[in-house]
A and B are shown apart, each in its own frame.
Chain A
Amino acid sequence: MSSPSRMLPATIWQRELVEFLQRRRALVIKLSFPLLIGMPLILGGAPLFSAATALTMLFAVIGAVGSAAVLSRERSTGLALRYRTLPVRPGRLLFERLATNAAIDFLQIVPALILIGIRSPAGFAWWPALILTVAAVLAIGNLLGAVASILSDSPGEVMLFVFVPLLPAFFLSGLFTPFSDPVLLTVSRLLPFSYLHQSLLGALGGHPNLFPWETALGGAGFLVGAGGLIGLFGRRVVEAD
């Protein structure tokens, strides 16, 4: 892989990466977008709870919107059919694609994460949890986008479908108001966004309700769960017309 024009992808993850690197304008926008939104939140003195809320929503949306737009566009251009002719089982195909997309999304977020580290070096105890919960939210977001892409061939409509479950999920994760009600608190612990919110709050120097190890465990659980769900939804997503 010497220069972009000579990069020769033979596997699904290599192809995703090559396409990402060759879309230069999109590459610049994708890499700068989380930083531009994250910078005032992280360095601008915003209340830590609100900054963690906004960053959680940003990371979830980055995960969901990218895969939703790409997969719905592929359905309308006929590329989805080409994928269906590949000698790869649907579950593995979707897993490889979404895992690569989530990894690329993670790369987009790295500059914002570095800013968090610079702003609050004392929050490093939260970093293993932060990395796990970011990965989990990106994986879940990508899966959500992939499932939403079944609903329409129009990327615009698919974006709307992505937000329909996301917005109530953000509320139920306690992103807008900290929950004291035990039922709502339990519900929030069943959603991956609450763990990311907690780890961001911790990494930013705030006072989360959970310990770092609890958050890390939650993140790891959702990451494994996302992997299983992607395998489960593989056939439905890959073979949807």
Chain B
Amino acid sequence: MFEVSLDLQAGEVIGLMGPNGSGKSTLLRVLATVDAPQAGTVSWFGRNDRRDPSVRRRLGIVLDQPAHFEQMTGYQNAWFFAGQLGLSGEVAAPRLEELFRWAGLWDARDQRAGAYSLGMKRKLSLVEALVHRPEILLLDEPTLALDYRAELDLIERIQLVSLTGAAVILATNDVHLAERICDRVLFLHQGRIIREGHVPTLLSELAGSKEVELQMHSPVPLENLRALPSVEAANVEGDTLHVVLARGTNPAEVLAVLNGTADLVSTMRVRRPNLGDLFLKLTGVALPAGE
């Protein structure tokens, strides 16, 4: 159940952010032509037929679950998808070599895809999605299972793809990735877009605020915290209490509010708020960490 209206410009990088079940993967699957919308229409390059081969040839898709033909080598997998996407052998070979080397998979190209680690499988999915130089690149949790080096390489590649005029939509809860490469971010909650905007504009809504993270030994009454005018949002995740404080508030006030339970705090961290904090402020729900 969605009420989504989304226009995509060439070269634009859009981030879909929201907790599990918010609908970001579902929206991505609809955009990727895998699923039909329950109502309304989706138009790709002015065409409404999601099964139109000419539409699919212009999309690059990485779904959240990397799936490959496990008995075939990584290179055979990529070659197959390149062929399906309309590339001749002469065009596919040099592009695949460049992408396999970029992804660090060149030496493992003749290994069975079934023997690849999760990170390698995700990189192979990226290779397959990029080989035909799509006009729209759709990525579901692209940094999942990637190491830091690979994540940096991916960011660089997405920026490059975007510079060549391709639009990129990525579903992610990696706030650092979103802040770094997204031009625009859509917050999804319970199947709806609750806020949309350019990243600097969204972050400016929290200008001067502070995000305080407290690791607690025992549960704390959130209602008392939320009732304070200086607290913009508060949420507990496991044993960690997240509090977004309004401009000018001293973080020590939070400890004072906890009144008598401060000794239950094992660590406290104050940092500049990010998109995740804005989401928390808007919905009261924290974006899952590590996704």
A229, B89: Cα distance in complex, Å? 34
Q: A12 to chain B: which residues have CB within 8 Å? A: 84
B157 to chain A, nearest CB (A): 20
Give the size range of B's interface with the partner: 20 to 34
Query: Given known contacts A78-B67, A85-B34, A87-B53, is B84 in contact with A19 (CB within 8 Å)?
Result: no
Q: A28 to chain B: which residues have CB within 8 Å? A: none
Q: A19 to chain B: which residues have CB within 8 Å? A: 69, 71-72
Map CB proximity to A onto B147-160 as digits: 1 under 8 Å, 0 otherwise: 00000000000000
Q: Is B219 an interface residue (CB 8 A)?
A: no
A14, B66: Cα distance in complex, Å? 22
In the complex, the answer to whether A10 meets B89 with C-beta atoms within 8 Å is yes
Query: Given known contacts A78-B65, A84-B34, A87-B57, is B84 in contact with A10 (CB within 8 Å)?
Result: yes
> Besides the contacts A82-B67, A86-B81, what 15 more A-B pairs have beta carbons closer than 8 Å?
A5-B110, A8-B75, A8-B79, A12-B84, A15-B80, A23-B71, A78-B63, A78-B66, A81-B65, A84-B34, A85-B63, A87-B55, A88-B53, A88-B84, A89-B53
A149 to chain B, nearest CB (A): 16
Q: A90 to chain B: which residues have CB within 8 Å? A: 51
In the complex, the answer to whether A81 meets B67 with C-beta atoms within 8 Å is yes
Map CB proximity to B onto A1-20 as digits: 1 under 8 Å, 0 otherwise: 00001011111101100110
Q: A22 to chain B: which residues have CB within 8 Å? A: 71-72
Q: B75 to chain A: which residues have CB within 8 Å? A: 8
Chain B residues with a Cβ under 8 A of chain A: 32-34, 51, 53-57, 59, 61, 63, 65-73, 75-76, 79-86, 89, 110
Q: B69 to chain A: which residues have CB within 8 Å? A: 15, 19, 79
Q: Is A77 an interface residue (CB 8 A)?
A: yes
